[in-house]
Structure 1
Amino acid sequence: MPLISSTGARSGLDLEGIIKATLDAQRIPKQNRLNQQEGRLQVELSAVGEMRSVLSNLQSSAEKLTESSLFSAMKASVSQPESGNVISVESSENANTGNFDIAVTQLAKGSRAVSADGAFASSDTVVNTNAGALTFGAGTESFSLDLAAGSTLEDIRNAVNNSEDNFGVTADIINTGTEAKLVFRSNVSGAGNDLIVSNDNAQLDAVSTVANAGGAGGMAIAVDDEATDAIIEVDGIQATNDTNIFADVIQGSTITALKDSEGTETAQLSIARDDAGVKKSVDEFVKSYNSVVSSLNEMGAEGSMLQGDATVRGLKSQLNSVLTSTFGDDQTLFDLGFGLDNDGKLTQENPITNVSEVLSDNPSALQSVLGGENGLASRMDTFLNGYVGAGGSLQMRRDSINDSLDRVSDSRESLQRRMESMEETLRSKYQALDSLVGQLRDRGDYVSAQLANLPGFTRDND
Structure 2
Amino acid sequence: MPLITSAGIGSGLDLESIIRASVEAESGPKVAALSKKQESLEVELSAIGEIKSAISKLNDTIEKLADPENFGKRAASIRQPESGDLISVTPTSDISVGKFDIGVQQLAQGSRAVSADLAFSSVDDVVTASGGTLSFSAGADNSFDLTLDAGATLAELRDAINASDDNFGVTANIVNTGDPAIGSKLVLTSNVSGAGNDLVITSDTSELDTIETYDASTNATGGMTIADDDKAQDAVITVDGLAVNSSTNTFKDAVQDMTIKALAVSENVTTDTGTELDTARLTIDYDRESVSTLIDELIANYNNVIGNIGFQTRIGKPLNGDSSMRGLSDQLINTLGKALTDAGPFESIFDIGLGVDKEGYLEKSSLVRSLNDAMDENFDDIGKAFAGDNGVAKDLEVLLGNYIDSSGLIKQRETSLSGQLEDVKDDYENHQYRMESFEAGLRQQYAGLDVLLANMKQTQSYLGAQLANLPGFTKQNN
Q: Which residue of 1 aligns with 2:57?
A: 57
Within 5 A, what are the aligned runs for 1:70-219? 70-139=70-139, 140-177=141-178, 180-209=184-213, 215-219=220-224
Q: What stretches of structure 1 of length at least 5 have no aligned partner?
A: none
Mapped partners of 1:207, 1:451: distance in 2: 141
Checking the alignment, whether the CA contact within 8 Å between 2:134 and 2:145 is kept in structure 1 is yes
Residue 124 of structure 1 and its aligned partner are, at CA, apart by 4.1
The equivalences for 1:336-375 within 5 A come to 336-375=352-391
Counterpart AA for 1:400? S
CA separation in 2, counterparts of 1:192 and 1:254? 23
Aligned-pair distance for 1:210? Answer: 5.9
Query: Is the 1:76–1:91 Cα contact (8 Å) retained in structure 2?
Result: yes
User: For residues 122 and 475 of structure 2, what CA distance do their matches in structure 1 show?
Assistant: 133
Distance in 1, matches of 2:91 and 2:351, equals 31
Q: 1:383 corresponds to which residue?
A: 399
Aligned twin of 2:289: 276
Q: Residues 271, 451 of structure 1: CA spacing in aligned structure 2 closer, same or farther, 3 A cutoff?
A: same
Matches within 5 A, 1:214-293: 215-263=220-268, 264-293=277-306
**Cα 1:39/1:117, change in 2 over 3 Å:** farther
Do the aligned partners of 1:286 and 1:346 also contact (CA within 8 Å) in 2? yes
Partners of 1:349 and 1:309 lie apart in 2 by: 31
TM superposition shift of 1:399? 1.2
**Residue number in structure 2 paired with 1:11:** 11
Shift of 1:352: 4.3
Assess if the C-alpha contact under 8 Å between 2:72 and 2:380 holds in 1.
no
> Tell me, what secondary structure is at the counterpart of 1:69?
helix
Flag the 1:154–1:10 CA change in 2: closer, same or farther, 3 A.
farther
Change (3 A) 1:276 1:19: same
Asked if the contact 1:4–1:427 (Cα under 8 Å) also holds between the matched residues in 2, the reply is: no
How many residue pairs get aligned? The number is 461
Residues 450 and 68 of structure 1: CA distance in aligned 2, closer, same or farther (over 3 Å) = same
RMSD: 2.4
Q: Are 1:96 and 1:250, in contact at CA under 8 Å, matched by a contact in 2?
A: no
* Segment drifting more, 433-442 vs 403-412: 433-442
Give the structure-2-normalised TM-score: 0.89
SS at match of 1:4: coil
Question: What do residues 352-400 of structure 1 show as CA deviations (whole Å, max 9, x unaligned)?
Answer: 4322212212335433432321222121111111111231111111111
Deviation of the 1:227 alpha carbon: 0.7
Task: Tell me if the contact between 2:68 and 2:383 (Cα under 8 Å) persists in the aligned partners.
Answer: no
Q: Report the identity percentage.
A: 44
Alignment check: 8 A CA contact 1:198 1:210 kept:
no
Contact 1:23-1:423 within 8 A present in 2 as well:
yes
- 1:442-457 residue pairs with structure 2 within 5 A? 442-454=458-470, 456-457=472-473
Query: Which consecutive unaligned segments of at least 5 residues does structure 2 have?
Result: 269-276
Normalising by structure 1, report the TM-score.
Answer: 0.92
Residues in 1 aligned to 2:290 and 2:245: alpha-carbon distance in whole angstroms = 33
SS at match of 2:89: strand
